[in-house]
Amino acid sequence: MDQELLEKVMNQVKAELGAGATPAATVAPAASAPAAAPSMKGDATGISKALGRTEFVGTSIGDTIGLVIASVDPMLKDAMKLGKFRSIGIIGGRTGAGPQIMAVDDAVKATNTEIISVELPRDTKGGAGHGSLILIGAEDVSDARRAVETALQVLPKYFGDVYGNDAGHLEFQYSARASYCLEKALGAKFGKAFGMTCAGPAAIGVVLADTAVKAANVEVVGYSSPGNGGTSFSNEVILCFSGDSGAVRQAVKAAIEVGKKLLGALGDEPKSTTTPYI
């Protein structure tokens, strides 16, 4: 993981927040369009003003929207299973669950927030995978907002090792140190390195899982297939594993190489959605 870039991004976000910049302005890239980090910081003040909604935080890649509610109505507290929280941050997109989970994992590290729930709709707009709905709890809504902003800002990075062609997609993630979101959503060992391999059609994902565990000494923490309850009937096989950072990265890298060849056999050469980071 390009830890340096990540920290730079976070520091910048924090600096701008401290300087009193309009929060919505710092986190609204062009909706849905794959965007490199630099072009993400368009001035969204216009949209935000036109919206005139205090709930709106910003948008990012994958038709992802970030929202906050300062105080959820008591009638919905139980239905939403909010526990002790009344202030929540909301991150959800049509395409992608892994990238949003990674981005929120970074966000909870950097803010005073907790993960309430992570849900995986069957989506990707006709693709083989999941969308996402993540609720973040905070004592203070400003913390929730900061977490949502951080997640939206860093999200394009985690689409970097999502590769696609007309036949399907591959997704790989790597974290040097998994935090609460990866632990809750994907069973990662807290504080240890975490890796994920995923492919749709699912058949390719089976081979990637086998490739990853053979490539390095890692501990499997989750294996999800279309019908085993680990997915929402997506056409994917997903392997999640923890371990030493060197081994985890090696396992992921071995699977990337194989995945691109196999998915490529069904169509064009799979292309990164943004810029590979692993």
Task: Give residues 120-159 in contact with its own copies (rule: CB under 8 A).
Answer: 120-123, 125-128, 131, 133, 135
Q: Is 214 in the site for its own copies (CB under 8 A)?
A: yes
Q: Is 32 in the site for its own copies (CB under 8 A)?
A: yes
Among 10, 101, 204, 255, binds its own copies (CB under 8 A): 204
16 vs 210 by CB, closer to its own copies: 210
Q: How far is the CB of 167 from its own copies (least distance, A)?
A: 5
> Cis omega before residue 201 (within 30°)?
yes
Q: Is 244 in the site for its own copies (CB under 8 A)?
A: no
Contact call for residues 155 and 103 (beta carbons, < 8 A): yes
d(CA 56, CA 48): 7
Q: In whole angstroms, what separates CA 5 from the centre of its chain?
A: 17
Among 15, 203, 246, 271, binds its own copies (CB under 8 A): 203
Among 13, 65, 188, 198, binds its own copies (CB under 8 A): 65
Q: Is 72 in the site for its own copies (CB under 8 A)?
A: yes
120 vs 162 by CB, closer to its own copies: 120
Binding segment for its own copies (CB under 8 A), chosen from 103-111, 175-183, 190-198, 219-227, is 219-227
For residue 4, the surrounding DSSP H or E stretch is helix 3-18
> Residues for the chain: how many in total?
278
In this structure, what DSSP letter does residue 97 have? S
> Cis omega before residue 276 (within 30°)?
no
Report which of 163, 224, 168, 221 is spatially closest to residue 195, judged by C-alpha positions.
Answer: 221
